[in-house]
Every structure is written in C-alpha cells, then in structure tokens.
C-alpha cells in the first residue's frame, strides 16, 4: 500500500512544493520568468518593512480569530456533548450547525456586506433603537468585519474536532470528579479541558492554517484596505511576478510549519487519538 | 463542436421563417473557402467589455463560423496572452496590455491592406491625433504600440507601417463617478477625490496600472507636482504619488478600494462611497437602479483606454482567413453600433452610424439631447427623453483625454510600491 500512496503524495504534494521552492529563486521580467539562481526575491522580501507588517497583520488575524473560534467552538461542543442528553438530539443539533455550510463560503462572507454597511441593517436598527445617532463606520471595511467573517466562516472547524473528542470522554470520569467534591468549573478546568486537548489542537491547526492562507476574505471584508500574506501572493501572481509570489509562499509555508511544529510540542496528537 | 452560439443560431433559424433564412444566406459575406469555413471555430478571450455572446451569435449568422468567447479580468488576460499562446486564436486586449504581451511574440502582425475600413479608423489609433490639431496625450497612447516593423516584428514603430499589432475595437474616456444627491455641489476637479469633505466616502480602484494614473491626475490637479509623463514615472515620482495617497489612506479618506466592476457599482449604489474612480457602464448600472450618479467631466480631462483584437501567432490557413473576415466584419458597423449604444466608442464610428437610429447617434456620439427614450441593445431604458450625455460629444470627450492607461518602465517598482500602499 505504501507504493501508490507515496506516488500520489509525490505527484500532488511534494512535486508542487519543490517546484515552488525552485521558482522562488528564478528571475522575472515584465511578462516572463527565466530560470536562474537568484536571492533577489528573498532579499527584497526580507528587506521590505511591508513584509514584516503584513506578516504581523496575518498573525494578528490568526490569533484573534483563534481566540474567538476557540471560545465559541468549545462552548458549542460542550453544550452538545454534555448538556444534550439524547443521541438523536445531539446528531440533530450537530447537523443544524452544519447547515450554513451548505452554501458557498463566498456567499456567506459577502452577505455580511449589506448587513454591516453604512445604510445597512445593523446601522439602521441601532439608529432606530436610539443607541447611535449616526451610522457607525467601523462595522464594515475594517479589521472588525474581517475577523467577524473569519469567526463566522471557521468556527465549525473548531466545533467538530472538539465535539468529537468530548464524545469520547468517559462519563464516569466526570462523575468521579463530582464525587470527589469538584465544582462544575473545577471539573471543566481539570478534567474536561485536558482531555479535550487533541480536539482543540486539531481545530487550532485548521483555523490557523485557513486564516494564514486566506486572501479573499481579507480582500472583500476590508474593502481591499488591509493586506495579509495571501493578498501579497495574489497581487504578485496577478502581475505575473511568479518568482516573487513563490518566495512569499515559501516563507509563509515555513512560518505555518513552524507554528504547527510548536503546537504539536504541546500535544502528541498521535498518542491521544 | 457544440458551442453556445451554435445552439442559439439553430434555435433562431428554426424560429424564423424560411424567407428570413434565405435572406440571411444572401448576406454579402465574402465566401473565401466556401463551405469549409463553416466548420471553423475561433477562440477569442478578453475582458468582459466586448466579449459578448451577442457578437458570437451575430458572427455565426453573418459569417457562418463559430466564435467561442471567454471573458476574464485584465490581469488574467495579460497572463494568458503572455504565457499560453496556444490557448486562443484571437486576443481581445487593451493597448497597455499589448505593450507587455507583444514582445513575447505570441501575437502576429496584421496586414493593413487586408483591412477594408483601415482608412476610416479614427486618427487616435493611426497617427495618434484625433483631429489634425489634437495634442497627443501622455501614457501608452494606442498608436505608439499599434504598429510593428513587419510581418514577424516584435518591436513597435511610431509610423503607420502597414503592420498593425491590434485592430482597435472599443475605447472610452474615463473620469470620476459621483453621487450628486449626496454631494450637493458641483465637482469640477480631480483633486476632489482627496478633499477631506469626503473623508471615509471616497474610493479608488485597486488595479495598479490604472489606479496610478487616476492618482497622477489627482496629484496634478492638487498642484502638488506636474509630471513630464504621467504614463512613465520615475521612481521618485512614484514615491511622491503613492506617498500622498498613503497619507490620505491613513487619515481615513477611503472607504474601500475596488477591483471588479460590480464592486464599484455596489459601493456607489449603497452610498458607502460618494466619489470614486469608475467605468462608464458602472455608472449606467447605478443609474438603472434609479439612483442618481454622474460621470463627471473634469477640467483636467479624461483618463482614456482602448482595446483591440490581436491574432495568435499560431493562427494560419483557413483560420487566419476567417480571422481577417471577422476583423473586417467587426469594423463594418454592427458591433460598433452595438457597443456605442452602451456608451463606448467604435474604432470606425461612421460605419456604426448605419446601425443606430438618428436619435441614438445624436445622443451617444454627437452629445445632443435625446428626443425619445434611449435604450441599450438589450432593450433596457438607459436615459429618458431630454437627457444629454455626461461630457458631451465624441470630440468633446475624446478630445479632452489627458492620459492613456499605461505600463511604465518602472512597472515592477511601481507594483511593489502599490502593494505597500494597500498594506499601509
């Protein structure tokens, strides 16, 4: 079985990544790229202050989105796993969570735009309640709207793995904690949370990887006013600067791998699963 | 090959009476290769502006062969023309894209002696002068990249050499779009884009090669700097231009940047933005929703663009003949009329006149008051009787072009600086 698998991985994973690494050392003119071994692309990348700002911005999006998706995802999963008693209801409610995912994620994202706009539903409702006197501008085309869309799009990726691990927790452990005199919060903190770590970690990897690699959400929800690494790569590709795009992609890949490497130091997913 | 135009055509011919079919067959289309040409399929790609299925079905009807259309955005068009020469037969591209793509040798030069209406093509695309008195605008003016030295040339020559790189098809003069109802006072300068009065309500397009030109118009209008050539800035000029806009961005001048046509329509229609760079059909789209929107003529003039069709280098034999037939048909008026009724201009306006009503010609070309309702080719009412086109007649508008969309020598530097501006 190893043979065909190695072939599939080799062709669809290793080869493209190697190709991207190779091209990142090539040179480019206005309309073509030529094989070479240049460090220009990297030199420009690391010497530009913008690169650092954009990477920082990408980390910022990832961190904030992670925090929100974790809190919401954990709560939802906890409710489903421990408060809903019957399996039928658990499945029904879980499926309910997935319903929004039957539409395309672009549609789910764009539908926020008219809602949050200057004359949108959110602003007109707040004004009719008398909470605000004039439309709030930062609702749309801001970091707020970008993160809102990210959280909305990716929370399910946190719910699913956490719910999955929670379902495997032996209920007698919870009872034992309670018998030993632990309060609800203590049980949550010292029993449930440690046992859910693998799920949290898988969810984290999903969310972090998705947010770090995104470009379209940032473009639409910030009204093209903010940049992340994905948009930098997209701009380069659009302008036929493939080597420069490859160099950025390689740096992004290394960053994400490093990040996941660090995360895996905390939890040994293999052992826990 | 089953193509959409073909299906349309057959449905059409079934619906029509036999008499109409006979009339269609009797149309004076030159039959070079007789029946064989009916099996030809030409693959055309380009920006959405002129890649219309109506054109493809009309080609089938008039010339007998099939035309497959693919519409892409201008970045993808450049990419495809430069990197995949075998994926198309006809490239419908803009002149500034031509400057990038032509040196790759992926397109072949066209023999102007085979172009029937060559002499009637407006001066802008031949000598560069609309009228003998015209001053040639800055930027990549079409005539500077419109001719090459010979059949196999990959260079550009400045005179009418008899070998054309692109056959001009469609062009227009762009300016700022405004919401007069939300601004409430006359706007007459490009500098208004950065007027603090419109803080948080302005927008500019995020396509670097076009956006930088709009920026240059604004910077000149503000009196900050006078460019020797807006279409070919030095590094210092690029820094200066983007510096001014970065500061404005940091001060919250812009609500958003847009990249696609529909984004610009939504920004304007929803009132998120009251002044922005815009394209002519986007104005129409906003207005058709019953929202007032004006394509404001400005004192400093217009930023203009032009598109044309080029032939793939690999095109030969019967396909090449079909392509020349297509080009001649393109310039013979039907397409021109079709495009002019949407607010664009045709390269050979006088042939288009035969395909427009007198009122339509008066409104779109001569800048006269509309006598009746003006409809677009799809039958939607664009303007009511009594309306006058923003900016006036063809000569008023195209005569006031201050610069053309361009690619600069320092393009790579500009692109990097543009990315910094977006990230700022």
Residue B12's SS3 state is helix
B59 and B163 in one domain?
yes
Give CA–CA dist A5/A148, Å, rounded.
39
Give CA–CA dist B81/B172, Å, rounded.
22
Is B416–A44 a contact, with Cβ atoms under 8 angstroms apart?
yes
B314 and B288 in one domain?
no
In a domain, B231, yes or no: yes
Q: List, as ranges, residues 215-244 from A with C-beta within 8 Å of B.
A: 219, 222-227, 231-232, 235, 238-241
pLDDT number for residue A272: 60
pLDDT number for residue B343: 86
Residue (of A182, A256, A204, A261) closest to A74 by Cα position: A204
pLDDT number for residue B133: 83
Residue B258's SS3 state is strand
Using an 8 Å Cβ cutoff, are B241 and A272 in contact?
no
> Six-digit token pair at B24?
């269609």
Give CA–CA dist A100/A159, Å, rounded.
14
Give CA–CA dist A160/A123, Å, rounded.
33
Give CA–CA dist B418/B89, Å, rounded.
33
pLDDT number for residue B290: 87
Is A53–B422 a contact, with Cβ atoms under 8 angstroms apart?
no
Give CA–CA dist B417/B421, Å, rounded.
6
Residues across chain B: 424
Annotate B147-215 with DSSP letters as a single string. B-SSTT--S--SS--SEES-EEEEEEEE-EEE-HHHH-S----GGGGG-GGGTTSEEEE--HHHHHHHH
B249 and B272 in one domain?
yes
Q: Please report, in angstroms and rounded to a whole number, the separation of the first and last CA atoms in chain A.
A: 22
Is A224–B75 a contact, with Cβ atoms under 8 angstroms apart?
no
From the CB of residue A131, how many other CB atoms can be counted at a distance below 10 Å? 9
Q: CA of B420: how far to CAs of A87, A142, A197, in Å?
A: 53, 18, 39
In a domain, B141, yes or no: yes
Cβ-Cβ contacts under 8 Å, A117 against chain B: 270, 272
In a domain, B384, yes or no: no
What strand order describes the sheet that includes B254-258? B254-258, B202-205, B275-277, B176-178, B294-296
Q: CA of B87: how far to CAs of A44, A184, B82, in Å?
A: 34, 65, 11
CATH of the domain at B250: 3.40.190.10
Give CA–CA dist B109/B311, Å, rounded.
7
B100, B259, B270: residue with CB nearest A30? B100
pLDDT number for residue A102: 84
Is A50–B423 a contact, with Cβ atoms under 8 angstroms apart?
yes
pLDDT number for residue B7: 37
B315 and B410 in one domain?
no
Is B206–A118 a contact, with Cβ atoms under 8 angstroms apart?
no
In a domain, B321, yes or no: yes
pLDDT number for residue B1: 35
Is B419–A232 a contact, with Cβ atoms under 8 angstroms apart?
yes
> Six-digit token pair at A20?
């991207």
B287 and B402 in one domain?
yes
**Cβ within 8 Å of residue A43, ≥6 positions away:** none
B183 and B289 in one domain?
yes
> Six-digit token pair at A178?
């309670």
B230 and B209 in one domain?
yes
Is A225–B419 a contact, with Cβ atoms under 8 angstroms apart?
no
Is B419–A50 a contact, with Cβ atoms under 8 angstroms apart?
yes
Give CA–CA dist B150/B152, Å, rounded.
5
Q: Which of A122, A146, A223, A243 to mutate to test the interface with B (most CBs of B within 10 A)?
A: A223
- CATH of region A60-225+252-272: 1.10.3720.10
Backbone angles phi, psi at B40, to 5 degrees: -75, 140
pLDDT number for residue B33: 54
Which residues of B have a CB under 8 Å from any CB of A?
Answer: 75-76, 78-79, 82-83, 100-101, 103-104, 200, 203, 206, 208, 249, 254-259, 266, 270-272, 407, 411-412, 415-416, 418-420, 422-424
∠ Cα B406 B408 B412 (to 5°): 125
Cβ-Cβ contacts under 8 Å, A118 against chain B: 270-272
B252 and B341 in one domain?
no
B260 and B207 in one domain?
yes
pLDDT, block means (10 residues), chain A with 273 residues: 87 94 88 84 89 93 97 95 90 88 86 89 91 88 94 93 91 91 91 92 94 92 90 83 92 94 82 62
Q: What is the ipTM of this complex?
A: 0.79
Residue B139's SS3 state is strand
Is B422–A224 a contact, with Cβ atoms under 8 angstroms apart?
yes
Q: Closest approach of chain A CAs to the CA of B371, in angstroms?
A: 37
Give CA–CA dist A55/A62, Å, rounded.
10
pLDDT digits (tens, 9 = 90+) for A132-152: 888 888 899 999 999 999 999
Output helix, strand, coil percentages for chain B, rounded to the nearest 5: 45, 20, 40
Continuous H helices in B223-316: 235-250, 261-269, 280-287
In a domain, B30, yes or no: no
In a domain, B240, yes or no: yes
pLDDT number for residue A273: 60
Residue (of A273, A265, A254) closest to A20 by Cα position: A254
B75, B270, B415: residue with CB nearest A117? B270
> Six-digit token pair at B25?
């067959």
Name the residue range of residue B200's domain: 176-300+393-423
From the CB of residue A137, how many other CB atoms can be counted at a distance below 10 Å? 17
**Cβ within 8 Å of residue A144, ≥6 positions away:** A138
The DSSP bridge partners found for residue B257 are B204
Q: Are strands B401-404 and B138-139 parallel, antiparallel or unpaired?
A: parallel
Nearest CA in chain A to B105: A31
B329 and B295 in one domain?
no
B107 and B72 in one domain?
yes
**Cβ within 8 Å of residue B398, ≥6 positions away:** B122, B124, B130, B171, B173, B302, B304, B345
pLDDT number for residue B289: 86
The DSSP bridge partners found for residue B94 are B307
pLDDT number for residue B79: 80
Q: CA of B207: how far to CAs of B104, B204, B215, in Å?
A: 23, 9, 12
Q: What is the tally of structural domains in chain B?
A: 2
B45 and B166 in one domain?
yes
In a domain, B269, yes or no: yes
pLDDT, block means (10 residues), chain B with 424 residues: 38 41 44 69 83 86 90 80 88 90 91 92 89 86 92 90 92 94 94 95 90 94 94 94 95 91 90 92 86 93 92 92 94 92 90 93 93 86 87 92 90 85 83
pLDDT number for residue B274: 95
Q: Which of A23, A31, A136 to mutate to test the interface with B (most CBs of B within 10 A)?
A: A31
In a domain, B378, yes or no: no
Helix or strand (DSSP H, E) at B304: strand B302-312
């Amino acid at each position: 079985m190893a043979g065909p698998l190695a072939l599939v991985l080799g062709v669809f994973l290793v080869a493209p990544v190697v190709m991207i690494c190779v091209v990142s050392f090539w040179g480019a003119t206005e309309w073509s790229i030529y094989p070479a071994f240049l460090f220009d692309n990297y030199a420009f990348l690391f010497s530009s202050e913008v690169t650092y700002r954009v990477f920082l911005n990408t980390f910022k999006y990832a961190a904030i989105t992670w925090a929100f998706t974790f809190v919401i995802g954990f709560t939802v999963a906890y409710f489903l796993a421990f408060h809903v008693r019957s399996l039928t209801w658990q499945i029904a409610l879980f499926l309910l969570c997935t319903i929004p995912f039957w539409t395309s994620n672009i549609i789910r994202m764009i539908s926020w735009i008219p809602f949050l706009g200057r004359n949108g539903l959110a602003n007109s409702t707040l004004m009719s309640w008398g909470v605000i006197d004039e439309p709030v501008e930062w609702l749309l085309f801001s970091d707020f709207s970008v993160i809102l869309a990210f959280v909305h799009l990716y929370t399910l990726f946190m719910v699913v793995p956490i719910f999955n691990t929670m379902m495997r927790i032996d209920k007698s452990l919870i009872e034992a904690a309670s018998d030993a005199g632990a309060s609800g919060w203590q049980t949550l903190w010292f029993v449930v949370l440690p046992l859910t770590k693998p799920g949290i970690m898988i969810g984290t990897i999903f969310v972090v990887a998705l947010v770090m690699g995104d470009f379209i959400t940032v473009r639409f929800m910030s009204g093209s006013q903010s940049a992340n690494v994905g948009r930098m790569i997209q701009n380069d590709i659009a302008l036929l600067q493939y080597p420069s795009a490859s160099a950025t992609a390689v740096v992004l890949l290394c960053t994400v791998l490093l990040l996941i490497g660090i995360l895996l130091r905390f939890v040994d997913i293999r052992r826990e699963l | 090959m089953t193509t959409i135009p073909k299906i349309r055509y057959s449905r059409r011919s079934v619906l029509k009476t036999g008499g109409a079919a006979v009339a269609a067959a009797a149309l004076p289309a030159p039959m070079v290769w007789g029946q064989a040409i009916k099996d030809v399929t030409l693959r055309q790609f380009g920006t959405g502006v002129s890649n219309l299925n109506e054109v493809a079905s009309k080609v089938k009807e008039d010339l007998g062969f099939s035309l497959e259309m693919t519409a892409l955005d201008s970045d993808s068009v450049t990419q495809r023309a430069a990197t995949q020469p075998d994926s198309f037969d006809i490239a419908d591209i803009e002149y500034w894209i031509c400057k990038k793509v032509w040196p790759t040798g992926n397109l072949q030069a066209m023999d102007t002696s085979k172009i029937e209406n060559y002499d009637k093509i407006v001066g802008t695309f031949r000598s560069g002068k609309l009228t003998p008195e015209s001053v040639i605008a800055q930027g990549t003016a079409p005539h500077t990249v419109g001719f090459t030295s010979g059949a196999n040339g990959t260079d550009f020559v400045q005179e009418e050499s008899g070998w054309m790189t692109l056959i001009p098809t469609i062009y227009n003069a762009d300016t700022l779009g405004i919401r007069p109802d939300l601004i409430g006072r006359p706007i007459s300068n490009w500098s208004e884009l950065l007027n603090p009065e419109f803080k948080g309500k302005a927008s500019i397009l995020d396509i670097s090669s076009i956006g930088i030109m709009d920026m240059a118009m604004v910077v000149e209008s503000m009196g900050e700097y006078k460019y020797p050539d807006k279409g070919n800035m030095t590094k210092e000029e690029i820094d200066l231009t983007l510096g001014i806009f970065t500061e404005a961005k940091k001060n919250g001048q812009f609500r958003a940047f847009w990249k696609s046509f529909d984004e610009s329509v939504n920004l304007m229609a929803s009132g998120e933005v009251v002044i922005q760079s815009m394209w002519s059909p986007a104005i129409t789209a906003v207005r058709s929703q019953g929202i007032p929107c004006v394509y404001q003529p400005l004192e400093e003039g217009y930023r203009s663009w032009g598109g044309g069709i080029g032939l793939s280098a690999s095109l030969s034999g019967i396909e090449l003949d079909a392509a020349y037939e297509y080009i001649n048909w393109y310039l013979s008026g039907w397409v021109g009329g079709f495009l002019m009724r949407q607010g664009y201009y045709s390269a050979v306006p006088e042939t288009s006149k035969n395909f427009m009503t007198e009122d339509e010609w008066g409104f779109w070309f001569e800048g006269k008051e509309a006598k009746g309702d003006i409809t677009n080719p799809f039958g939607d009412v664009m303007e009511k009787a009594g309306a006058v086109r923003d900016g006036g007649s063809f000569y008023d508008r195209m005569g006031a072009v201050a610069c053309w969309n361009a690619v600069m020598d320092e393009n790579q530097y500009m692109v990097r600086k543009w990315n910094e501006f977006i990230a700022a």
